[in-house]
Structure 1
Amino acid sequence: MPSGAASWKDPVPVVWSGAADAPLTARIRALAPSLHAGERRVAEFVVGDLALAIESTAQDLADAVGVGRATVVRTAQTLGYDGFPQLRVAAAQELSHVHVASTDDTLVGSLRAAADRFASRIGDSVAALTEESLRSAISALDEAGRVLIVANGLSSPLGLDLQLRLTAAGRPAEILHDALAQRIAARQLSANDVCVIVSGSGANETSLAVARAARDAGATVLSITSFARSALASGSDTALVVPSMSDSFQDELLHTSRVALVLVIETLVDSLIKHRGPRGREARDAVLRELGNALSEP
């Protein structure tokens, strides 16, 4: 394991390092589910009732969830605030933008409500990303000899989407779907190669095994995930953290959405094309020519 790399078994504690104006609940979604038990109870209380959190003192909240006042303050600091008063201000700011839930219980109404919910949170998708992490990811993809993409479970379609987009951008990439084949391919990478792991949870053991194999081979590990303190993010050279659209880790498991990850993947490839200059434009022009040839007149 390279010097300074995090252990796959023991993620390094981190504090919020994304955008300074990121919403409170987006920060919580990105850092969950790896908050310490007491911090998690505080965070769940805040997400569950922003209005009550605003009206509570640190001691009130501590008493309500059964932790010490210091845990409440530490949670606020982990989320990137100087203390609990600043967290309360952030909660008030976010609450002012909350949309009123739809009372339309028809199928179309449910669909409209889901679309409104996504629309209100889509800006949170980039809240945890930094200029440094994006530049690092783009440079790694551009300069790599080989790019191996790994995605399992519900993230599998995203991996295929990324592979097709990169190939169309003139950056050939490979993807394998068999777990053993993934590990074998990762172990055969070199220090000049990149292994991209796409995993919403960042805890898929099959994907983690591939990431370990890639790191053992000396390759760069680039992850795209929803949780900043997941084993995958902590063990990657570069992690693009895209906060989940769900309210909690449980909700993420039950009602998994990959909308935010799709947006970031598409934008990442577009940025890569721009970064590659003439090479990127020529590759895109070639794709457009082939698309034109494949279309027939009605």
Structure 2
Amino acid sequence: MVWDGNADAPPTARIVALAPSMHPGEKRVAETIAADLASAVERTAQDVADAAGVGRATVVRTAQTLGYDGYPQLRVAIAGEVALEASSGDMLADGTLLGGMRASFERFANRLGHTLSGVTEDALQTLVHALDTAPRVFVVANGLSSPLGLDLVLRLTAAGRSAEQLSDPLAQRIAARQLGASSVCLIVSGSGANAQTLSVAHAAKKSGATVIAVTSFARSAIAKQADAVLIVPPVNDSFQDELLHTSRAALMLVTEALVDALIARRGERGHEARTAVLEELADTLRE
């Protein structure tokens, strides 16, 4: 039996209704999820499979039995249910909007030290070298990461490193398929799970290009697919927070610093490019 009730029904309501009629393996998966919803949000399908003592395919089937396309969609629904159950909380202690903003800034500041905790020297050297020497750099960023892609392209261009970006997903795939060996497809994806972005990465790899990812989660799909990865842990505490708050602040800081590292590596070329930009900026200013 597959869920055919209200599309707005939360995962736990679906589990309670369907668990008695599920196959034994699916029932174990459902019970594992229901026993600790908060942990389920943070787990991958394989993690849940291991916890329930079943195969990954059983986790996917369970999600589909519950009325979702797959486990990622179930995971998002669980995050929403957990958030609704939690206290509304971001209007913190003093109950004011300003107090909430201060608390948000404090949370960011407290986690800022984690921003570079997943970045290794080898990964950074590989990425900067590739950006410096590649004949073409194609930047891909979709969804909530798309503004970071545009910012990165502008900064790379200002550093004397020409880069390309397209907004249409099909156009991205076509361009990626034409990159060829020695070119770089630089992907910025907070979640590392955007389906459109993953398809572009696949097309780029087919062309022989080097795929480099800047993402927040080490076990994400894009991290597994890329040739080199820069892991930037999110300023939020968990995958659930990533889904609900979707901050890209840490990624923005790292990509900005990445361009500074490229300029430093390029030496005189980098400084000449920056000087040229300053001259153009000066021409746009008026008293």
The alignment's TM-score, normalised by the length of structure 2, stands at: 0.69
How far, CA to CA, are the matches of 1:104 and 1:129 in structure 2?
37
Q: Which residue of 2 aligns with 1:109?
A: 99
Per-residue CA deviation, residues 151-202 of structure 1 (Å, 9 max, x unaligned), is: 1000000000000000000000000000100000000001110001111110
What is the CA-CA distance between 1:104 and the residue it aligns to?
2.0
- 1:145 alignment partner, SS class: coil
Q: Secondary structure of 1:149's partner?
A: strand
Task: Give 1:9-48 correspondences, 5 Å limit.
Answer: 33-34=43-44, 36-37=47-48
2:227 and 2:285 map into 1 onto residues whose CA distance is 42
Correspondence for 1:136? 126
Pick the structure with more helix per residue: 2
Q: CA-atom RMSD, angstroms?
A: 1.8
Secondary structure, aligned partner of 2:269:
helix
Equivalent-residue separation in structure 1 for 2:139 and 2:184 (angstroms):
8
Match of 2:233 among 226, 238, 243: 243
Structure 1 residues 290 and 256, CA gap change in structure 2 (3 angstroms)? same
- Which residues in structure 2 correspond to 1:39-78 (within 5 Å)? none
- Alignment-derived partner of residue 218 in structure 1: 208
Residue 146 of structure 1 deviates from its aligned partner by 0.4
Identity value in percent:
59
SS of the equivalent of 1:36 reads helix
Tell me the SS of whatever aligns to 1:172: coil
- Alpha-carbon distance, 1:33 to partner: 4.8
Tell me the equivalent position of 2:18: none
* Deviation, structure 1 residue 266: 0.4
Q: Give structure 1 stretches of 5+ with no counterpart.
A: 1-31, 42-100
Q: Distance in 1 between matches of 2:230 and 2:181?
A: 20
Amino acid at match of 1:203: A
> Structure 1 CA distance, aligned partners of 2:200 and 2:193?
12
TM-score between the two structures when normalised by the length of structure 1? 0.67
Structure 1 runs (4+) greater than 3 angstroms displaced: 32-35, 38-41
State the distance in 2 between where 1:109 and 1:38 align: 42
Q: Does residue 157 in structure 1 map to residue 147 in structure 2?
A: yes
* SS of equivalent residue, structure 2 residue 115: helix
Q: State whether structure 2 residue 100 is matched by structure 1 residue 125.
A: no
* Distance (whole Å) between structure 2 residues aligned to residue 171 and residue 103 of structure 1: 48
CA–CA separation in structure 2 for the residues paired with 1:189 and 1:257: 30
Task: Answer whether contact 1:147 1:193 (CA < 8 A) is retained.
Answer: yes
CA change 1:270–1:190 in 2 (3 A) is same
Give the equivalent residue in structure 2 for 1:204.
Answer: 194
How many angstroms does 1:105 deviate by?
1.7
Q: What's the offset of the Cα at 1:247?
A: 2.0
**Structure 2 counterpart of 1:271:** 261
Tell me which residue corresponds to 1:191: 181
Q: Is the 8 A contact 1:33 1:40 kept in 2?
A: no
Query: What amino acid is aligned across from residue 133 of structure 2 in structure 1?
Result: E
Work out whether residues 33 and 227 of structure 1, in 8 Å CA contact, stay in contact via their aligned partners in 2: no
Post-superposition offset of 1:39? 8.1
Distance 1:187 1:179 in 2: 12
Q: Does 1:294 align with 2:284?
A: yes
Query: Is residue 179 of structure 1 aligned with residue 174 of structure 2?
Result: no
Instruction: Quote how far apart the aligned CAs of 1:37 are.
Output: 2.7
Count residues in correspondence.
Answer: 207
Which residue of 160, 163, 170 maps to 1:170?
Answer: 160
Q: Secondary structure of the residue that 2:208 maps to in structure 1?
A: coil
Structure label with greater radius of gyration: 2
SS at match of 1:37: helix
Q: Give unpaired runs (5+ residues) of structure 2.
A: 1-41, 53-90
1:40 shift after superposition: 8.6
